Amino acid sequence: MVAKLPFVLEVRVLTLLHIGTGRVLQEGFDYVVKDGQTLRIHEGRFVEWISSQGEAFARLTQGTPPGELLRAHLRPGSPLVRYSLPGVPENAREIRECRKDPLDQPYIPGSSLKGALRTVLLWQRWREGRRVLSRTRLRDDPRFAAKDLEGEEFGETPHKDIFRALCLRDSSPASKERLVLANVRCRAPGARTGIPLALEAVQRDTTFVVEGYLDTTVFRPWGAWTRPGFLAPEKLGWLAWEYLAKAARQKALARLEQDFRWAQSMGTEVAFWNDLRERIRQAETGTSLEFPLQIGFGTGWLGVTLGPALLGDPAFREVHRRFRLGRRPRGGGQTPPDRFPASRRLARADGVELPLGWVWVTPKEAP
């Protein structure tokens, strides 16, 4: 038996994708807006340019934003510009930076895909195990509420966690020309449009390639074949693409059902949600291994938790109260459990407001 089973994932972006670095770019210091484009200033070459102007000039202009000093020199293709983004921030003076390689080419970290697959698998195990909230121990810290559940299903320590067997490398990078400036707002029924956010995002129809392998060694006896493997062998099938694809499609359908009703209540164009549901159903009818995932910024509570599996549970009302889900900012109260989650983050693309971060994944054999 081959110890490591290599594979390739083709990941196609369906809606604008932002996987952030945590850094916020400031207007005038990190970027400028010019002629309908957002130009990212090249910090290193700015320092060289300042040095070339002489010490007196550097002292005289100390504290002046780089964008103000360089405005006459900044244009697409200029050596003082790292890259340019189509579009400009709307009512925002800062931009959230997306993850890129040293050549400013966007890529998808393997950890982002692996985290999404972990959530999908936990959701499937919850459903197949017929679990209920009233018999599930949740930790008090909302960030780790399901930690004990994960330990029970996947392994109590990183050493015993079944996902140690699934290796996903960072994707191949896309061209920096695939980056755009995305304007995002939080929308909720009966509420004013939320605070505008500007993001660097990967355009729709961008394709990434992710290489990886499944290490079956940790599921088998080892050494003199007298000691058990690190991981329970019956769980090897959980990491098969047939199983993961089915789980991802079913979780996405449950999620889209919630989102579709929400979009209708908001009067938002529902074509995207309809089209994606139809595409999933077509994949379900055959032997296809294709499946959707939602990753990165804007995934929301339904995406990063067991989401739809919890909302119909009789004990969800108590979970909603305990973890204060749906709290509104500035003391604005709390969304009732029967209407939670009430908000979504949407980005405007081609004149239509769409959710963020949906991708379509196609597993393939490694060449």
pLDDT surpasses 80 at 348: yes
DSSP structural state of residue 175: P
Q: Note if the bond before 341 is cis, omega within 30 degrees.
A: yes
Token reading at 142: 């909302």
E strand or H helix at 88, and its extent? none
56/356: higher pLDDT: 356
Which whole-number Å values give the CA distances from 142 to 147, 177, 317, 319, 324, in the listed order? 10, 38, 15, 10, 10
Residue 210 near residue 202 (C-beta atoms within 8 A): no
Strands (DSSP E) along 223-357, which ranges? 291-294, 344-349, 352-355
250-265 confidence digits (pLDDT tens) = 999 999 999 999 999 8
Residue 104 near residue 202 (C-beta atoms within 8 A): no
Angle, alpha carbons 150-128-244 (nearest 5°) = 70
186/99: higher pLDDT: 99
pLDDT surpasses 70 at 221: no
- Percent of the chain clearing pLDDT 70 (strictly above): 94
Of 43, 29, 27, whose CA–CA distance to 89 is shortest?
27
Strands (DSSP E) along the chain, which ranges? 4-13, 20-26, 31-34, 37-41, 81-86, 94-98, 166-168, 179-187, 197-202, 207-215, 291-294, 344-349, 352-355, 358-365
- With 0-12 / 13-18 / 19 or more C-beta atoms within 10 angstroms meaning exposed / middle / buried, residue 135 is exposed
Token reading at 5: 């089973």
pLDDT surpasses 70 at 330: no
At 193, is the secondary structure helix, strand, or coil? coil
Q: Can you tell me the distance from the alpha carbon of 325 to that of 156, in angstroms, rounded to the nearest whole number?
A: 27
Average pLDDT, the chain: 89
The confidence score (pLDDT) of residue 365 equals: 84
Q: Can you tell me the distance from the alpha carbon of 7 to that of 291, in angstroms, rounded to the nearest whole number?
A: 15
Q: Can you tell me the distance from the alpha carbon of 33 to that of 40, in angstroms, rounded to the nearest whole number?
A: 9
Domain spans of the chain, in order of start = 10-22+104-212+236-365, 28-88
Region 142-158 average pLDDT: 88
307/179: higher pLDDT: 179
- Phi and psi at 29, nearest 5°, equal -105, -40
Of 115, 136, 114, 268, whose CA–CA distance to 189 is shortest?
268
pTM of the model: 0.92
Question: What confidence category does residue 291 fall into, taking pLDDT thresholds of 50, 70 and 90?
Answer: very high
Instruction: Name the β-bridge partners of 201.
Output: 180
115-125 confidence digits (pLDDT tens) = 999 999 999 99
> What dihedral angle (degrees, nearest 10) is formed by the CA atoms of 311, 254, 300, 118?
100
